[in-house]
Amino acid sequence: MEKIIIGTRGSKLALWQAYYVEEKLKEAGAEVEIKVIHTKGDKILDRSLSKIGSKGVFTEELEDQLRNGEIDIAVHSAKDLQSSLDDDFEIIAFTEREEVNDVLVSHKDISIDDEITIGTSSTRRVAMLKAYFPHVSIVDMRGNLQTRIAKMENGDCDALLLAYAGVHRMGYHNKIREKLSLKKFTPAVGQGSVAIESAKSLDPGKRELIINACNHPLTEICLRAERSFLREINGGCSIPVFGYCKWFDDYLLELNAGIVSLDGKQIIRVNTLLDNPEKLGIDTAKKLMDQGGKEILQEIRQQLDQNT
């Protein structure tokens, strides 16, 4: 029997993801061990993600242990993975995607159209709130899901803006007040799926078992397109880009992607149809850059450099 060691962050949501993968692997006949690893993004909670640095905030320590063979795979929220991996790593599986929408979560009976204070640590969500709902106030909100909900209930904000998948997995349905439109509030690349990363040196037998047990081919194709877009843009956690790919019909993929300025005053959005996921991401990124995205991206990087 193959033994597979899973590396994961220690939050309840990260552990849910690890247990979810563990269950699939056990069903495939593997013996599984889970190892909790604390990352930079978990330890530094008094600064925004953009000030910590976007590359590897939630993955670097996990990758260190992949590299030295202490774990076989690392389990991540796909949206937390940096756009480019080091040459000795690869993503070998994406689990079936859940609903990808952002949701407004609150213990109060409120709407995003009300004059409320919303907590979020995402630069994408902040920029989109400024673009589409400029009447709301925004406060930076770091920490795991339970911590953020506790802060909200203690009066730090009226509501949180979160991914539906995390809220669903943690059983907070009763606090969802609104599901935001995908056409306006397009999600982060990878939102809603769990990604499984390994070193390229992973035993081929283990690799095949993990892929067969965990990978959802349709989700994988869509996320390959989204990540190809993100890689071409060279976007990270601190850059407010978005991208969502879906099947248009039996042969075509549709990628809706774009960038929004930090103040929310400029949004460039492009849609592209193609049957090759990698080329779809690259072509979409180039189209975005040609339509003014390059200038917005340069401006964002300058502003972030000034704030760090």
> Of 158, 237, 245, 283, which residue is the catalytic one?
237
Catalytic-residue membership of 237: yes
Based on the residue annotation, tell me whether 250 is a catalytic residue of this protein.
no
Note if 79 is an active site residue: yes
Residue 124 among the catalytic residues: yes
Catalytic residue among 79, 130, 206, 224: 79
Whether 72 sits among the annotated catalytic residues: the reply is no
Three-state SS across the chain?
CCEEEEEECCCHHHHHHHHHHHHHHHHCCCEEEEEECCCHHHHCCCCCHHHHCCCCCCCHHHHHHHHCCCCCEEEEEHHHCCCCCCCCEEEEEECCCCCCCEEEECCCCCCCCCCCEEECCCHHHHHHHHHHCCCCEEECCCCCHHHHHHHHHCCCCCEEEEEHHHHHHCCCHHHEEEECCCCCCCCCCCCCCEEEEEECCCCHHHHHHHHHHHCCHHHHHHHHHHHHHHHHHCCCCCCCEEEEEEECCCCCEEEEEEEECCCCCCEEEEEEEECCHHHHHHHHHHHHHHHHHHHHHHHHHHHHHHHC
Catalytic member of 142, 175, 207, 231: 142
Rounded to whole angstroms, the maximal C-alpha distance in the chain is 58
Catalytic hit among 9, 24, 97, 148: 148
Catalytic residue among 42, 80, 102, 283: 80
Question: Which one of 125, 130, 227, 231 is the catalytic residue?
Answer: 125
User: Is residue 97 among the annotated active site residues?
Assistant: no
Phi, psi for residue 230 in degrees, rounded to 5: -65, -40
Catalytic residues: 79-80, 124-125, 142, 148, 237
